[in-house]
Structure 1
């Protein structure tokens, strides 16, 4: 006795819907982002690395302000989850404030530790912002699309003091007036002292900020003399 086989006739529109559903399932297996991922674990404060995560969150907010011309203020980070891809990515949700109307809102940023290299006598650490925006369901474009090349070298103090057309010495008052200068300084100290984040000694570092033309992207490279 032959086995009966049920035949289902599918229209071209039906085939299209089936193909779309299959593609969606494949995307679902590969999806990464806020509050989920292959290394899914939501972390909330307090944590031992709270100082580090605060700097990561503030850097993402700075990137948004820099690109959009806004002046949003950091309030606190609320949670994050991590992804291990070719880099180590933090998907951070934070609370921000708009001082123009004193309103508070949720903000998202992706901070990526993109590696460390040695260039001559310098140790160079690369950090990237791969997303920065008020909280939404938009996907993250985590593909950095620019090769920045080698870092410039530290110049002699005499050159910095005499050539004021190319180089500018920041005044102490400007450090207090510009939050981003303090943020960059703290990031440089964190690179030099990853376990404590602060330093009581003098520290020379070269910081280069670049963008790759993709909205919400920014790279921060920090070079300092290797310590033997």
Structure 2
């Protein structure tokens, strides 16, 4: 049988795929088995517009050797990773949040206490889907003031049909030196183990708790209402609330001016019950958080508002992996 000769369109689609992301990024295989939009081929380049192959090879070498974190700008309409710099410490706000999420994941798994110092740069996958952010930042462990350069790759995926927003880390690590490495190892490091997460934490988000439901479930030990000491001892809860605030006001340019958020009530739910003491639920790899909070310095609406948020946290047991699914809505303060 004669060999099949790929068409020009097939070749260009393959070149576009290679340019978009590292070969095994979660952007092409998400932990929630997310669908890809159809490629209609409208953005394919003509032969005379293609970049020289040596430029593409150098770009691909940089992507492969750095896992997407250290890449020069390649002006190519087919897509690819595009370097960006922060406008200030908080802008874009989502990059600030994604940086802190990567550090939070690392701290949970390594029992460290790294804090964000400064974001160096971030690369985004132009034209890619889902949207990936390769962030390089400075951090320091507050217990011994040890500085480090940190890398995290965060992927976001809005789910308008279900009314909430998903974000997950596929890499959260101290900076790895650039250079050739085994592709299979990197792919395995990125790949999400969906089978490791109980079905209780999958599918649509649960409904907001009624008082009767909370009372009944609390008796079974699945819920725990956090105390003031819990909030003070777990600063990452503020990060989860900031994610919810960001999701509610996505696209608003001035959200940092309304921080810090003021927590009113936080309830955590786990499949397991009977932890002793119950605040150990905060250390669970998988949990659902029900939060009520206010903006700390006015509000984007100009009115007194209380926000309700549900945040589902899941981890698959692999280093550098955490998923947050976030839903948030606003209520007039008098309605509580």
TM-score (norm 2): 0.53
The reply to whether residue 64 of structure 1 matches residue 118 of structure 2 is no
The reply to whether residue 52 of structure 1 matches residue 108 of structure 2 is no
- 1:100-133 CA-to-partner distances (Å, cap 9, x unmatched) read 32121111111111232333xxx11100111111
Task: Report the CA distance between 1:29 and its aligned residue.
Answer: 8.7
Q: Report the more deviating stretch, 140-149 or 85-94.
A: 140-149
Q: Provide the secondary structure at the position in 1 that maps to 2:224.
A: coil
The reply to whether residue 158 of structure 1 matches residue 212 of structure 2 is yes
Structure 2 counterpart of 1:89: 132
The reply to whether residue 217 of structure 1 matches residue 252 of structure 2 is no
The CA distance in 2 between the partners of 1:30 and 1:178, in whole Å, is: 36
Equivalent residue for 2:145, pick from 92, 96, 102: 102
* Unpaired runs of at least 5, structure 2: 1-56, 73-79, 196-201, 259-294, 300-304, 332-336
Superposed, which structure 2 residues align to 1:12-161 within 5 Å?
A: 28=61, 31=64, 33-36=68-71, 38-46=80-88, 49-84=91-126, 85-119=128-162, 123-137=163-177, 139=186, 141-146=189-194, 148-161=202-215
Q: Report the more deviating stretch, 128-137 or 71-80.
A: 71-80
Structure 1 pair 204/93, CA: closer, same or farther in 2 (3 Å)? same
Q: Provide the secondary structure at the position in 1 that maps to 2:84.
A: coil
The CA distance in 1 between the partners of 2:169 and 2:175, in whole Å, is: 15
Cα root mean square deviation, aligned = 2.9
Task: Report the CA distance between 1:69 and its aligned residue.
Answer: 1.6
Structure 2 counterpart of 1:170: 226
Which entry has the higher C-alpha Rg, 1 or 2? 1
Structure 1 pair 223/48, CA: closer, same or farther in 2 (3 Å)? closer
Contact 1:45 1:78 in 2 (8 A): no
Task: Report the CA distance between 1:150 and its aligned residue.
Answer: 2.1
Q: Provide the secondary structure at the position in 2 that maps to 1:56.
A: helix
- 1:75-110 CA-to-partner distances (Å, cap 9, x unmatched) read 222211111432111111111111232121111111
TM-score (norm 1): 0.75
The CA distance in 2 between the partners of 1:47 and 1:215, in whole Å, is: 27
Number of residue pairs aligned between Structure 1 and Structure 2: 200
